[in-house]
Amino acid sequence: MKKLYVVGNRSSKSLSPMIFNYWFKKYNINAKYSYIQPTTKNFHNKIKEVLEKKDTLGLNITIPFKKRIIKYLNKLDVHAKKIGAVNCVTNKKSITGTNTDWTGYYKTLPKINKPQNKKIIILGYGGASHAIHYVLKKKGFKEILIFNRTKIKIKYSIKNKYTKTFKDLQKHLSGAFLIINTTPINPILKKHLTLVDKSTIISDIVYSPKDTIFLKQFPKNKKIYGISMLIEQAKPCFKIWFGKNPSVDEKMLNAINKKI
């Protein structure tokens, strides 16, 4: 039996085991998906141990290890290399790192005409945020503003550009087409709420609870829930590991919705 795991500091709360084990049963695959919850201190030993096991087929990597995992891999796909973060590891003849977060997030968005004219605001700049920034640039968005707790150099920029801090938010919220929260906190304060247009799409990549504190602040805005990204990034992982595109049926969605 092949073994697969989600690896992160809160991975015991992850819905990835539910999603993948559902697909294993549906497609009659002899595999089991569980979790590993390392600390920053024991990450090295835990990862080496699991990757050395012959029955380990793959890992999903989540916060805060999407960058740290890279040094344990033999090779990266082109997108993981450019993004600088890995969320999918395949342990076959060699240990390969892939990034499916970028396609996973883009598939949650509605069809968008003239992306070059749309203002996007990204809150936070960790591994998942890098993947989202990467795909938005790739799809033609020109005005992408990134805010972070501290100033960090922005990737995919010829000039030396840095993230803005959350203190600068109020100057830029008006006129945004989409606001994406990639942090586990709520960076938008009460005083900011009236500055956000009712037409702005609000997105949070945190999926539990489904209505995060961040999303609840915008009862009248269209929303993109974090669970959509979790499912969409999982589908290509399954294809990489088992060569099959899994489908998402109503029974699976009902089971997930009971958990979030």
Look up residue 183 and give its amino acid. T
Question: What CA–CA distances, in Å, run from 102 to 59, 222, 250, 251?
Answer: 17, 21, 25, 26
Q: Is the four-CA dihedral 141, 99, 205, 128 of positive or negative sign? A: negative
Residue 58 class from Cβ within 10 Å (0-12 exposed, 13-18 middle, 19+ buried)?
buried
User: CA–CA separation, 10 vs 235, rounded Å?
Assistant: 21
Catalytic residue among 41, 54, 66, 161: 66
Decide if 66 is catalytic: yes
* Strand duo 56-61 + 88-91: pairing: antiparallel
User: CA–CA separation, 8 vs 150, rounded Å?
Assistant: 23
What amino acid positions are annotated as catalytic residues? 66
